[in-house]
Amino acid sequence: MNSPFFTEDHEDIRDMARDFAEKALAPVAADIDKNDKFPQELVDTMAEMGFLGLKIPEEYGGSGMDMRSYVCVMEEIAKKCVTATLYISSANSLSTAPIIMAGTEEQRKKYLPGVASGEGMISFGLTEPNAGSDAASLTTKAVKDGDDYILNGRKCFITFAPIARYTTIYAKTSPEKGAKGITAFMVDMKAPGVSCGKPEEKMGQRGVPVSDVILDDVRVSKDCILGEVDLGFINAMKTLSVGRVGVAAMSLGIAQEALDLAVEYTKARVQFGKPLAKNQALRFMMSDMETKLNAARMLTYNAAWMMDNKQDATKAASMAKYYAAEAAFEIVNKSLQLHGGYGYSKEYEIERLYRDVRVNSIYEGSSQVQQMVIAGKLLK
């Protein structure tokens, strides 16, 4: 790919990810979706290839690569198996960014190597039943008790919670301060008082367990605090900026696959005596798809480049996530339309992509939340 955003090293990691996706993931993607189970051997392979530790510093068991390397891998993997990208994105964004940004040296040594090796998964506990888009209104509390804190509350839609070793829990330590009174805690999922709700039956992106996390008088030591007391919300928002670029990259991969499928199908499908691809109305439809995909790609690559160059990418990340997620849904929807009745059949890949892409404009900040962030930066 000839792009000013990427170097030869970036393209090498892209090629490696593409080869893995085509050879190892594409043949089993439909079964993963059908059985709602992702093979452990694939997790192990991704760890061995360095995908789970792409952005984790080398001294903690990772590869120490940059955001653009992460985007390359996410984009290529998403083309063939969206579920696999969730293992990669969790390990390189929501699981580890809070620790890399705010953790002590001891915490980094304790938690990061296990994520890179695939043996110590960490989930991200921010969302609550009544605090989704309005994350600052969370009600989970952490009350100081000597040198410890007692946590009580409930988190919902927590990706990987049922199989996580730890969860980063955001709780109010100073409720009267609102968003300025939230603290991040590393919570052992085997600790007394910690339990998970029933796994969610999801529409798409199957093969990744998601559930509530219930905290009932859970005692954690002060050593489990990430960063400073009452400054956890800042940590969460910075983490989400990283995650949003990952979702944008995932959206690119899904959209590219959907467009490729549309091109292939319309060239082969003959109606009214000629291939569908010869129909001008359909050609214009695919022109729109290609244009929006490339616009989304530039927004995503630019946000990753800004992060790599230590620039404030908050607005850029939200624009990338907002536009790429919405564009991907439109592209997949049009691709399914171009497939006609076959697109509605589970025998065709586009049906799975349609279900997989739908959540991208919802999680890690809905499209409406991204508009709020963009407007907030623009009109500050």
Residue where a domain stops, chosen among 199, 229, 259: 229
Residue where a domain stops, chosen among 88, 117, 146: 117
Per-residue pLDDT tens over the stretch 76-113: 999 999 999 999 999 999 999 999 999 999 999 999 99
Residue 3 in any domain: the answer is no
Per-residue pLDDT tens over the stretch 277-328: 999 999 999 999 999 999 999 999 999 999 999 999 999 999 999 999 999 9
Residue 271 in any domain: the answer is yes
pLDDT of 1 reads 56
Residue 322 in any domain: the answer is yes
Residue 1 in any domain: the answer is no
CA distance 11 to 73: 10
Query: Are 241 and 339 within one domain?
Result: yes
User: Can you give the residue range of the structural domain that contains 253?
Assistant: 234-378
Beta strand pairing status for 148-159 and 182-188? unpaired
% of the chain with per-residue pLDDT over 90 = 94
% of the chain with per-residue pLDDT over 70 = 99
Total number of domains in the chain = 3
Residue found by looking up tokens 């005596």 in the block: 273
Residue 2 in any domain: the answer is no
Active site members: 364
Residue where a domain stops, chosen among 93, 117, 141: 117
Per-residue pLDDT tens over the stretch 330-350: 999 999 999 999 999 999 999
**Residue 230 region, left (φ>0) first, then alpha (ψ -120 to 50), else beta?**
left
Query: Are 98 and 190 within one domain?
Result: no
| CATH code, domain carrying 136 | 2.40.110.10
Instruction: Note if the pTM is more than 0.85.
Output: yes
Chain-centre distance for alpha carbon 15: 21
Chain-centre distance for alpha carbon 320: 13
Structure token pair of residue 203: 């529409």
Beta strand pairing status for 194-196 and 141-145? unpaired
Residue 129 in any domain: the answer is yes
Compute the average pLDDT of residues 340-368.
96
Per-residue pLDDT tens over the stretch 121-160: 999 999 999 988 888 889 999 999 999 999 999 999 999 9
